[in-house]
Each structure stands twice: as structure tokens, then as C-alpha cells.
Structure 1
Amino acid sequence: MSDLNFEYGLLLPEFILVGSAAVVLMLDAFRADLRISRNLLPAITVLGALIAGVASLLYLDRDPTDFAQLIAVDDYTTFFRILFIATLVAIVLGSYEFVNRNITH
């Protein structure tokens, strides 16, 4: 029986994205009470995505490894992490004006 690798650092980019999403959701829910600008939320989203992208790049050119024999982390994984993070940033930046103009809540 082989030992399972529970190195949670392999999932760091995903943890960063989940954490930044939780921060954005909480700030949006209590925006009126906290008196923060609506323009701050996309900036926090992009910042969290960029930090997750940098964390993903740390796994380039490393020996392939896995997390509990369920998730393989290699250059292929890094490519798709960066692709999805770049898509997230493009959508947030592309929809910024539309949301400010058409959504009022």
C-alpha cells in the first residue's frame, strides 16, 4: 500500500481563488455598512486572480506530483490554471463598465 501525499501547498492557487472570492462576496454583502466603493470589488477580484496566477507559476518545471493520488500537478495543470485565471481577469475587466452602467443594487 502506498502512502498518500497530502501536501496542501499543491492546491495553493485554488485556495487563493476561493479566499479572494469569499472576501469579495462578503464585502459586496456588507458594502453599505462598510461604506466601501463598488469599484473596489473588481480590483480585489483581479488582485486575487493575479496572486493565484503567480502561485501557479511556482509549479512550472517541477517534477510531476499528485495530491492524494487524485489531482496531478505538473506543467499541464499549470497551463490550465493560468488559462482559467487569465479568462477570469479578462471577464472581470471586460464586464466592469457594463456592470457599473446596468446593474444597480
Structure 2
Amino acid sequence: MTDNTFTTLGEAIASITDAIEAGGAVTDARTEYDLDAIADELITEHADETPEGATIASSLHFAIDADEDTFWATVEAHELTGPITAELTTVDTPT
């Protein structure tokens, strides 16, 4: 994670995806990790404001504010364990 500032949220999420897939062990990060949850924890929004407190739209940018250990701990915490399946064994019917 060398550059951690991005113009759009999508670019920041793509950077996370690229980092996860860079080692080659993961080929599709979206199927193996909850990228939305990872993004919620790691990506912050930054913008300058006018003296009145209004956001200056042209200054809006996104950043991944985490060191390498925090980044990978967050990724690991949001690993998907596979599809949730259930087997119906009985049905309770009211009498």
C-alpha cells in the first residue's frame, strides 16, 4: 500500500482488492472477503471546508488510513467462510 489517497471511493476499494490479490493466493477478493466491511473500516473521506463549514467538492478525496498490520488484520477479520447453508430437519405445525 504505497499510495493511500484516491479521488474516488471506487479507486480506494480497487486498491484494497489489488493488495489482497497481489500475492496470487486470492484471485477474486470479492468472493473471499467482505470488501464493503473492509472499506467501511479502512477508508476515510477527507475534504476542505469553507469558513461557513460547507464542503469544497473539488477537495474531496478518500484515504486508506491504516498501517500494514492494521490493514491485514482488517482484511483477515472480514474473510468470508463460505456460503451459509442450512438443512431443514423438521417442521413444527401448530395444531
Q: TM-score, normalised by structure 1?
A: 0.27
Give the TM-score of the pair, scaled to structure 2: 0.28
Pick the structure with more helix per residue. 1
| Higher share in strand | 2
Larger of the two Rg values belongs to structure: 2
